[in-house]
Structure 1
Amino acid sequence: MDAWDDAFGASPDRDPDFGPDDRSGQPPLTMEERAGVLDDLAELEVFRTLLEPTGVKGIVVDCPDCDEEHHVDWALMQANLRQLLDEGQTGRHEPPFDPDPDDYVSWDYASGYADGVAALAEREEPSGRHGSTGRHARDD
């Protein structure tokens, strides 16, 4: 199970705009699924820390059920993931009214952005060697 599929209703018994219709009978997440959601929560916090100051309001997710993009702000995405951990599924949420698509980025974009920031910081970090330029041997 992918946290994004579950969070945005990628099953026939769910309304794609608002999440699951029925909360009963949902099996708990497996340890592997829980670990994946915890990883997503940690990544989301990094993304928010890096991108929110630039004006990005949240994540855009392509919904396979309705073939539309769902614009989810940082706090709602975090709440969805936490609820997924606690209950094994997410609840109904009102989508934003007339969101500006330029204010949201995909998970892949946010991940690439974070990787770029980390790579730049690694290059700029002094290695502690005398006269070093901070480059790693693998860069030569």
Structure 2
Amino acid sequence: MTLVVKRTLLGASAAASALVIGLAGTAGAATIGFNKTSGSGKAEISGTYEYHVSGEIPETKEKLYAGSFKGATAKDKVAGDGYEAVLALSYQDFRNGAWYPVKNYVAVVNGSKSWTFKNKKEVKAWACDRKVGTTKLLNCRAAF
């Protein structure tokens, strides 16, 4: 009976080790919780950002990233003042064999949502104010 228990424990230990090694093989994934207010303090963004290496460009060996935003929220902290809260993004987007810069991409306005992405790099989330009815982002501060 002692031999059976030892073998079972050894087998369970080996399986657990294989699982840990398997997970380590996908290392490079990172999760960042964020919370930031705009420069004026009127807007607050929060949520979770996750990214991982999803491939590489064969010619340059440069890494491509994929990931997600979960519970990404833009909250208006001063209701009725004529401004709204914006979670904006900036990143590099790989399309048609080249990198294209994207700035001031409005992802969430006065609300919350989740989404995934791929073939991006240098992703940053920004807490911004925006006057209602306009598109110009104001008082932006990077969350990470």
Q: TM range, normalised to the smaller chain?
A: under 0.3
Give the TM-score normalised by the residue count of structure 1.
Answer: 0.27
- Structure possessing the higher relative contact order (Cα contacts under 8 Å, 6 or more residues apart): 1
Give the TM-score normalised by the residue count of structure 2.
Answer: 0.27
Structure that is richer in strand per residue = 2
Larger radius of gyration: 2
